[in-house]
Amino acid sequence: IKQIVPVAFVCYAFNLNLGSLVGGVGFRLRLYNKLGLDAAQIARLIVLSLVTNWSGWLLLAGATFALRQIELPPAFALSLGLLQALGVVMVALPLAYVAACFFSKRREWAWRTHRFTLPSGRLALAQLGLSSLNWALIGAIVWQLMPRELGFGTVLATQLSAAVIAVPTHVPGGLGVLEAVYVAVLGARVPTTSLIAALLAFRALYYVLPLAVAAALHLALE
């Protein structure tokens, strides 16, 4: 644990700020290799991390969509009914993953030259629980910084939506993307200046501060 936790913290902080190719893959390859893991083990670790992260996102985002916690702008093409149905499907996916890990008799799966082994049901449940807690805490931090008239469910749904929209842009830290989503979704309800101020404070707390600690820790690890 004394070796794994610092490496995981460094990788996560750099992943948040510099993107998945640098923090999620590059730092993991280097730092876990220094701990003696081979390429196959590191690849399995990266896949496990990805499944953990997005299983919690699917559960919480799906729940907020299904419960209609987000108000779509009038120009948005997707209706609230379709968004609610999408939310139900999203919730079902991580639950199906956990059920498969508990009850599937086939534990190993192959795709082309890659082979995947299902974790135990207890581990899958821990993945889903920890990831959901992480995303909920992120939403809670932003909510505490936002104007009081915004409810937690609304802020959480917006944050989760912004997180996934930022992924394909490959913009480090989703800079500008996060702010644009908040302004588009909530700009009609609260002043834009209040939204931007809250998001800048969030970036300082959740991005910049951990990055400074991770940079110092990375120097120690090297």
pLDDT in tens, the chain (222 residues): 778 888 889 888 888 888 777 766 788 888 888 888 888 888 888 888 889 999 999 999 999 999 888 776 666 666 778 888 999 999 999 999 999 999 988 888 777 777 788 899 999 999 999 999 999 999 999 999 999 889 999 999 999 999 988 888 777 778 888 999 999 889 888 999 999 999 999 999 999 999 999 999 988 887
Residue labelled with tokens 């991770």 = 214
> 24-83, pLDDT tens digit by residue?
678 888 888 888 888 888 888 888 888 999 999 999 999 999 988 877 666 666 677 888
Is residue 19 within a helix (H) or strand (E), and if so which, with residue range? none
Q: How far apart are CA 93 and CA 51, in angstroms?
A: 11
CA–CA distance, 151 with 67 (Å, rounded to integer)? 13
Say what the pLDDT of residue 76 is. 64
User: How confident is the model at residue 175, as a pLDDT?
Assistant: 84
Sign of CA dihedral 161, 165, 170, 176: negative
166 HSE (CA, 13 A, CB side) = 24
pLDDT of res. 98: 96
CA neighbor of 96 nearest in space, from 61, 128, 67, 126: 128
Rounded to whole angstroms, the Cα distance separating 134 from 106 reads 30
Count Cβ atoms within 10 A of the Cβ of residue 62 and give its class: 0-12 exposed, 13-18 middle, 19 or more buried. buried
3-state class (DSSP) for residue 78: coil
Task: Provide the whole-model pTM.
Answer: 0.87
Q: What is the CA radius of gyration of the chain?
A: 19
**Number of C-beta neighbours around residue 92 at 10 A:** 14
Q: Provide the residue type at 80 as one letter.
A: L
Residue 71 pLDDT: 74
